[in-house]
Structure 1
Amino acid sequence: MNRLFWTFGLAALSLGSCQQQAPVQEQATPAAPTPPPVPGPNLATLGDSNAVAELRAYGQQYPGSEVLLETRLGTIRLRLFDDTPIHKANFLLLVRKGVFNETVFNRVVKGFAVQGGRTENRTIRLGRYHLPPEITGQHFHRRGALGMARYDDDQNPGKLSSSIDFYMVQGEKLTPYQAQAMAGRKLTPEQLRAYETTGGVPSLDGKYTVFGEIIEGLDVLDKIAAEPVDAYKWPLKDVGMKLKVVQ
């Protein structure tokens, strides 16, 4: 419960003299300086018609490469890829604007992935827009991959990414045969080796944009994935997040 404290100024009176002293004036407390606005496009005005151009310009003017994701279970360090410039710029912009700080991990599937970025209690105005796919064979869904969610193929044949729903891959270790069968396409020797030694989810390859990876805190990812969840895969105890660009 919030408590309100009221301060009253007291006038000093001299009762031993017929001369009344002047009231004591309280010193006004200087107001805290208003922090400067975070540079970048107005989130409320972003839409499918202008988001790509705005984000491309933002990414060039305000670069970044690493983000810290802090939770009650520990801290994860993320590295963003330069060859997915639209997704990278969008993530940096939303982190700097504090958008993800209002959200929680809203879908957790152990052995698969954890997803966050959406909330029903948003105070920051955010336009509705999508991101064009930046899918490359170089970045795949190995353990620790950072990607952007999207709608299914029937509603979204262009594989456009959500602007706010991101996920981190936990996955499981797979034999080359298992990985190849799940992928539905020919995997490279590097991919087969990664899925066998560190794990991942090859069934997502070629369908979702991977734009970064965990470079520290894989154990925290496992802790989030191990949280008890309800029937909708929402953790029974919210796992909130605070993100900041650190490099």
Structure 2
Amino acid sequence: MTIRNSFRLAILPLIFLASCGESPKEKQKSTVKAEVKKDSVQIDSSEIEKEKEFVLTEENAIDFFFEYQKDLKVDKVKITTRFGSFTVQLFDNVPYHKANFIYLTRKGYFNDTQFHRVVKNFIIQGGNSDDRKTGKKRSEIGRYLLPPDTRKGHKHHRGVISMPSSEIDNPHMLASPYEFFIVVTKPGSYHLDGEFTPFGKVIEGMDVVDKINSVKIGEGDWPSQNIYIQKAEVIE
């Protein structure tokens, strides 16, 4: 037997074994998984830039929402709880707060947060939670505050949605963008005017807001049974 024929006989089993391995599809799947997990250098640098998650900060939030609100054609958000749904319409002349609320809704932030504070005949407050998922979502979206916008003529009438100020090192009463409260008081809670920013009003489902306001509460105005926002959705 020649050296050439010996070489052919030796390599045939290797070819057979290779053909019995992963199919092309399986190879492709494992390659994709590796790239996703490890940020493979095979991905074009321009694609990497596109896939980077944008994070809001104190430095870029105002500029971002200024641009974001320019193309907004929507102004309504529907919030669903186990008590039912209600719809809020956002004010056009409070652009940063309106844009912020639409943006967070589209990002899915409010889903699975709670109405964590209920003060009888005064307000219900939502956007927070007692689980780690909420903190994780906040860190992924970014850490920032919004300037108050209290001079647009909006008052804290019953049904108005407004934004509380942050309690952390905040002498200028900057607004906490992840939370909101809805006034339940009849006809309103006007002592809040000038301190907080009204940015919309409930136009449908105020009876649901009243049901939430009537639940049994425990320490710190936290409802005795959690009231989750099952879904918040922009009405396109």
Q: TM-score, normalised by structure 1?
A: 0.69
- TM-aligned CA deviation for residue 140 of structure 1: 0.6
Query: What SS does structure 1 have at the residue aligned with 2:62?
Result: helix
Give the conservation status (yes or no) of the 8 Å contact 2:115–2:126.
yes
Write the deviation string for residues 147-188 of structure 1: whole angstroms up to 9, x where unpaired: 001136x9423221001010100013xxxxxxxxxxxxxxxx
Structure 2 residue aligned with 1:226: 214
Between the aligned residues of both structures, percent identity stands at: 39
Query: What SS does structure 2 have at the residue aligned with 1:244?
Result: strand
Q: 1:85 aligns with which of 85, 95, 109?
A: 95
Q: 1:111 to 1:97 in 2, by over 3 A?
A: same
**Counterpart Cα distance in 2 of 1:130 and 1:162:** 6
The answer on 1:237 being equivalent to 2:216 is: no
Flag as ranges the 4+ runs of structure 1 deviating above 3 A: none
Bigger proportion of residues as helix: 2
The answer on 1:144 being equivalent to 2:159 is: yes
Give the conservation status (yes or no) of the 8 Å contact 1:117–1:166.
yes
The answer on 1:246 being equivalent to 2:235 is: yes
Write the deviation string for residues 30-81 of structure 1: whole angstroms up to 9, x where unpaired: xxxxxxxxxxx956x2111110111111121343211101111011110000
Write the deviation string for residues 71-106 of structure 1: whole angstroms up to 9, x where unpaired: 110111100000000000000000001000030001
1:1-247 correspondence runs (5 A) = 42=53, 45-119=55-129, 120-121=131-132, 122=134, 123-124=136-137, 125-136=140-151, 138-151=153-166, 155-172=169-186, 199-241=187-229, 242-247=231-236
Q: 1:55 to 1:145 in 2, by over 3 A?
A: same
Q: Count residues in correspondence.
A: 181
**Counterpart Cα distance in 1 of 2:71 and 2:53:** 15
**Counterpart Cα distance in 1 of 2:60 and 2:53:** 11
Write the deviation string for residues 181-217 of structure 1: whole angstroms up to 9, x where unpaired: xxxxxxxxxxxxxxxxxx1111101000000000011
**Counterpart Cα distance in 2 of 1:156 and 1:166:** 17
Q: TM-score, normalised by structure 2?
A: 0.72
**Counterpart Cα distance in 1 of 2:108 and 2:124:** 20
- Give RMSD over aligned pairs: 2.1
**Counterpart Cα distance in 1 of 2:113 and 2:145:** 19
**Counterpart Cα distance in 2 of 1:102 and 1:95:** 12
**Counterpart Cα distance in 2 of 1:159 and 1:42:** 29
- TM-aligned CA deviation for residue 234 of structure 1: 0.9
**Counterpart Cα distance in 2 of 1:75 and 1:56:** 30
**Counterpart Cα distance in 2 of 1:104 and 1:42:** 25
Q: Which runs of 5+ in 2 are unaligned?
A: 1-51
Select the structure of larger CA radius of gyration: 2
Query: What SS does structure 1 have at the residue aligned with 2:128?
Result: coil
Give the conservation status (yes or no) of the 8 Å contact 2:161–2:180.
yes
- TM-aligned CA deviation for residue 136 of structure 1: 2.3
